A and B are shown apart, each in its own frame.
Chain A
Amino acid sequence: MTSSSSLSEAAILSGLAVVLAGATLASLPFGQAPVAVAAACLFVTVVLLAISVRRLRRRLVMVAAVCERAANGDLEARITGIRETDALGGLMHSINHQLDTVDAFTREAMATSAVVRDGRFFRRIMRRGLRGGFARAADVINEATQAMADKFTQFARTTDRFETELGEAMSEVRRAAEDLGETADVMSTATGDCSDKAGRIDENARTMNAEVAGVAASVSQLVASVEEIGLQVSSAKEITDRAVEQSHTSRTAVAGLERSATQISEIVELIREIAEQTNLLALNATIEAARAGEAGKGFAVVASEVKGLATQSARATDRITEQISAIVSETDRAVSVISGVAETIGEMARISDTIAHAVEQQSTAARDISESMAAARTGTDNVSTDITIIAGSVGEAGAASHNLRDAATRLQSRASHLETEIESYLADARTL
């Protein structure tokens, strides 16, 4: 009999029971009646206690149900309609208070964690209203949130720096890879050109070699020809020398002829004078014959004959003079021609000398050329050899530039891939 529907009710009932029990004991010496009264009071007390205990049990069952709901995580459970102002009421308020605190802490912890889960860090557990262990737990969670916020900020900063620096580095790498690719292309083109050119040079060197050989042969022929020309020129000189000599002889002969013509002219002049005198004599004879008349007639005939002869003689001398003039004239022309020929021959002789000299020089030059050609041939041979080596090197450079191109392309591709990866990483990192 220690519990009641409320403790105050139990206390009152207990007091009543003591008073009734005292009264019962006090009334005992005066007869049986007080015993009956005491028994009735005890009965009433017991009945009231029984009612009180039933009410108390109902309330406790209700409280237990609330506690059970709370224990199962239903933090909505509360005790409402608390009328008791005694210890039981206090217990009920305490249970509500406890639930309010647990509820508040749970909501705060949940809400803070949810905000953190969503990647935001401004939220903290409200410390007010929480005491003791709740407050300490709140502090730890808040510290954890702050630590996460710091780490997140640091991470974001690192990510930013990473993005900036790596971004710059990557664009540099990409630019470098592009440059490298372009350089490889340029190099490839250059080596291609170079290879073509080396091929052409080689071809040209071979052609040149052949041509030099041809020229060398021609030069040898030229030397022979020049020597032949030299011989011919020498013999031509001898001939002209002889011609000059002969022209001199001709001139002397012609001069003799001229002299003879002059002497003939003198003789012809004498004959003409004789003919004139003969004519005069004939005229005189005629005149004399005429004086002699008939006797003189025959004489006149003779005189006439003589006159005719004289006239013929004169006429003959005239013709002779004419012919001698013609001869002299022809001779003069012959002299002039011979002089011209002699001059021409002299000229020719001088030219021949010049030619001979030139031929000599040509001969020397041709020999020099021949030697140069031999040297040139050695040179073109060397060019051929060197070009073959260069062509080999150019081929290697070409292959290398192709490899370089491939490497640059791969590098570009890797750089792009890396950039994509970094972007994706940063995108992921930013959602953390």
Chain B
Amino acid sequence: MQALKARGRSAKARAGAGSRKLTRTVVPSGRERVMGENDLIVSKTDLTGRITYANDVFLRVARLSEGQTVGAPHSIIRHPEMPRAVFKLLWETIKAGDEIFAYVNNLAADGANYWVFAHVTPSFGADGTIIGYHSNRRAPERRVLPFIMETYARLKAEEGRHASRAAGLNASSGLLGDLLREKGMPYDEFIFSL
């Protein structure tokens, strides 16, 4: 905790600049923070994914201040174990104007990780264009997590197996596509079927 605090301080300073990820400065402690049954983590971003609003639950769970959060990219809380294919799918989906649900493992500033069931939706302006994105995060179904962890580990391993990041991401996305084909349903139905 002492080491984390020191790192956390520098992380806070850098995150405040609005460009760094916690994972560059915080070492995951392996300690999991479990969301409360009725907790609702809320954040809003602009079109580029920079946070414009984070509610008090977000700040409390991520152990961040509003100053550190607003203006920072949403990937600030990305956990190193998360496969990039999931975020690729997430961004493709919401940029197309659709909603997406995803199980996401996040990293808090104190090194703890917290699993969320994220619901990301575009926010539409009066003229119907996308003006930003909104994410509600709820406590995930605990019984689904082992399957999610195993799947994410496979995707992550696939991403690490290739020389270039792009090739790794492609292969990982392909693997996710294969999994869905195997289940015989689109992603949105699949995630709800869990």
Contact = CB atoms under 8 A, between A and B. Distances in A.
Interface of A: 75-76, 78, 80-82, 93, 96-97, 100-101, 103-104, 107-108, 111, 115, 120, 122-124, 126, 128-129, 131
27 contacts: A76-B44, A76-B131, A76-B134, A78-B53, A80-B53, A80-B66, A81-B66, A82-B66, A96-B56, A103-B42, A103-B136, A107-B99, A107-B119, A107-B121, A107-B136, A108-B119, A111-B121, A115-B188, A120-B189, A122-B188, A122-B193, A123-B188, A123-B192, A128-B40, A128-B139, A129-B138, A131-B38
Contacts of A75: 123
Contacts of A80: 52-53, 66, 70
A30 to B, nearest CB: 52
Contacts of B123: 75-76
Interface of B: 37-40, 42, 44, 52-53, 55-56, 66, 70, 99, 117, 119, 121, 123, 131-132, 134, 136, 138-139, 188-189, 192-193
Nearest to A96: B55
B42 A100 contact: yes
A111 B53 contact: no
A122 B136 contact: no
A129 B38 contact: yes
Contacts of B189: 120, 122
Contacts of A93: 56
A115 to B, nearest CB: 8
A111 B192 CA distance: 13
A100 B55 contact: yes
B52 to A, nearest CB: 8
B40 A129 contact: yes
A93 B58 CA distance: 13
A81 B53 CA distance: 10
A96 B56 CA distance: 9
Contact of A104 (B66, B99, B136): B136
A253 to B, nearest CB: 139
B161 to A, nearest CB: 33
Contact of A126 (B55, B56, B66, B138): B138
A124 B193 CA distance: 11
Given A76-B131, A80-B70, A126-B138, A104 B192 contact: no
B14 to A, nearest CB: 20
Given A78-B44, A104-B40, A123-B192, 18 more contacts: A78-B53, A96-B55, A100-B42, A100-B55, A101-B40, A103-B134, A104-B136, A107-B134, A107-B136, A115-B188, A120-B189, A122-B188, A126-B136, A128-B38, A128-B40, A128-B117, A129-B39, A131-B38
B113 to A, nearest CB: 19
A126 B121 CA distance: 14
